[in-house]
Every structure is written in structure tokens, then in C-alpha cells.
Amino acid sequence: MQVSLETRDFAKYPFLKESQQFMLQNHESVDRFLQSSAGKVAIRYAVERVQRALSHAGQTIEIERIPLPSDSLGVRLEVSSYALARLLVSCGKERALIDRLTRYEALRACAFLEGEDDGKRAYVASQIGFSLGRLSLPVSRYVEITAAMREERWRLVNREVEDGNVAIEPLEAEELLKEQIRVTLLSQLPLDVPQSLCEEMAPYVSRIQDAFQQKMLEDFGEVEESCFPPCMQAIMSALSGGLNITHSGRFALTAFLHNIGMDGAQIIELYCRAPDFDVSKTQYQVEHISGRGGTGTEYTAPSCAAMRTLGLCVRPDAGCEKVNHPLNYYRSRKKGKKAKPN
């Protein structure tokens, strides 16, 4: 497919190989680039990029809100900021931060794609392995793209499947493309960044970690057990009642409590209610799930679909009808409570 990309396109779609080649024209090492005046601007842009990703909550981005340079130097800085933002979140080792950045990048790219002609749209889509013209996808591909899409309509049992292909509507192709970009970018992270480089970028990493922490506190605020979804309340009651909780139940509860901002000591205190409580084992599990263990991976509580599969979605109530994640249930109950003080 012959499509000519303009310089500004590199800033719009920094994940394309052409954009990376454009940025690498100087063949400079990252360390040297960071010392240069352009590098100092680019790292500032990178921090701002991650901060924008953190503060963006919607499902779309208005194109007017996305800074887009017009000259070649500006484009180089913009593409560099994308690359540096990926390095920053990789050094930060917060899974949720990586999720936020990749979601934002996918929304950002799709906002630009909406204004492109068919040829360019199809070309960009093809570069991340998505064929925009097709109205069906092989089952394995469909499952890979939709694994994190929680609406019932995306579940394979609700789809028309013929000869190993899942039919898709033209309007759905856009949603799938957005998800494909997110999934592709997510699969590339975290990057294996040398420790020395992470140390050099430590002040910037710490700035985005602070912004992330602040966002978490704004989103969740003080922990309120009365706003927990039924599934988490059930696991907590079972714990207090001396029932043996499965590994997946403990994982779901611990990740949930960590995600809403409870610290490790508070979580361990909750587990003291369990009859088989073992402090060192519990401490190890809590540290592992919250990303302070060996791998540095921070886990997110399972979605409602995953909770259902694990047999942990119990006594769903009316509040569950509007959410696809226990964290969303908690967030919305807290918001509702704030709006209607007693």
C-alpha cells in the first residue's frame, strides 16, 4: 500500500516505524540526548504526556486538546516525548501507569485517524496489524483484541461466527482498531531499561509516580468499606467468618484494597481476621501483588467478567448493572455518597 506520510504524521502516530526512524536520524544515545537542550525539553514533554494520560478519564479525546507541532524540530521533540514517556513508565514499574499511558496513546492516535483519508487510516491500521476493510476477524485474533472489552456484546457467545471468523459491523471496526492499538502498545511495555538510565531519569520518574499517587487519592480518597462492591464485601465477610478463601479470592481482595489506596500494613491487618493467618506469608503476598516484591509488577483487581469466571461475583446488586469492574463500583458509590451527604 503506497501512502505518503507527512512530517506531522510522525507526531500523530509516534509508534509507526517511520516515526521512530525519523527520530533516530541523529543516532544519538538516550543518555547523550537527555543531556542536550532538545533532550531536556523532550523529557519535560514526556512527563507532561504521562500526566495528560493520568488525568484523561474519557473514552475519546478532542483533537483540539492535543498539542501538535508544525515544524520538524517540534515533531522530533513530540516523537521523542513518546519514546521517553515509555521509558519513564517502564522505570516506574507501575502496571496501572503503563495501562493509563497505552490507553491514552490509543485514544490520541484514534482521534487523529478520524480526520484522515481512507488510505492513510488503512495504512496506519495495517502497521499495527489491523485490516480496516475486513468485516470479520479470525476467532483467535478477535479474542486477543477483545480480551479486555467488558461489554456483553463483545463476548464470543454473543457474536456471529462462521468458518472460524467473527463477523464485525463497520462501526465496530473503529472500536476494535482503538483496542488493537492499545493492546499492541501494551504488549511492548515495560521496556527493559538499563538501571543506569532509570537512575538518570529518577527525578522525572518520581514526578510521574507522585502524579499517579495524587490521581489515585483523588479518585478513591479515604477507604470506605461501606462502598465496597458485594463481591469484595463477601470475601471480607468470609475472611472474618473463618472460611478458607481460595487463592484467587485473596488475590482479588488484596489487589482491590491496594488499588483503592490501602497501604500494606492495613491490608495485612484485615487478613488478621482469617483463622489461618500467617503474617510472613501474608506480607509476602501483599508485597508481591502491590509491586513491591521481586518482579516489581503491580497487579490490578480482576474485572467483573474475570470475577464471574472465578466464581467470585456474588450477590451483584443494582449498582453492579452499570459497571464492569469492582473498582468502578467503588468509585461510583463513593461519588454518589459525596453527592448526597447524610
> Which residues are at the interface with ligand SF4 (CB under 6 A)?
229-231, 304, 307, 313, 316, 320, 323, 326, 329
Our CB check for ligand SF4 shows the closer of 106 and 304 to be 304
- Spell out the residues 6+ positions from residue 322 whose beta carbon is closer than 8 angstroms to its own: 332
Our CB check for ligand SF4 shows the closer of 134 and 315 to be 315
Q: Give the span between the Cα atoms of 67 and 47, in whole angstroms.
A: 14
- Closest approach, Cβ 255 to ligand SF4, in A, equals 13
- Closest approach, Cβ 43 to ligand SF4, in A, equals 39
Q: Which residue is listed with cell 521496556?
A: 191
- Closest approach, Cβ 173 to ligand SF4, in A, equals 29
Antiparallel, parallel or unpaired: β 136-138 and 165-167:
antiparallel
Beta pairing partners, 167 = 136
Tell me how crowded residue 171 is: count the other CB atoms within 10 A of its CB. Answer: 7
Phi, psi of 168 (to 5 degrees): -130, 150
Which amino acid, 280? S
Phi, psi of 308 (to 5 degrees): -65, -45
Of 62, 73, 64, nearest to 7 by C-alpha is 73
Our CB check for ligand SF4 shows the closer of 69 and 316 to be 316
- Closest approach, Cβ 218 to ligand SF4, in A, equals 21
Which amino acid, 211? A
Our CB check for ligand SF4 shows the closer of 112 and 329 to be 329
Q: Give the span between the Cα atoms of 259 and 45, in whole angstroms.
A: 27
Burial of 267 (0-12, 13-18, 19+ CB in 10 A): buried
Rg (CA), the chain: 22
- Closest approach, Cβ 296 to ligand SF4, in A, equals 27
- Cβ atoms of 80 and 38 closer than 8 Å: yes
- Closest approach, Cβ 164 to ligand SF4, in A, equals 31
Of 101, 173, 128, nearest to 13 by C-alpha is 128
For residue 190, is the peptide bond before it cis, meaning its omega torsion is within 30 degrees of 0? yes
- Closest approach, Cβ 150 to ligand SF4, in A, equals 10
- Closest approach, Cβ 229 to ligand SF4, in A, equals 4
Our CB check for ligand SF4 shows the closer of 91 and 231 to be 231
* Grid coordinates belonging to 40: 531536556
CA distances from 232 to 12, 123, 313, 325 (A): 41, 45, 9, 12
- Closest approach, Cβ 319 to ligand SF4, in A, equals 7
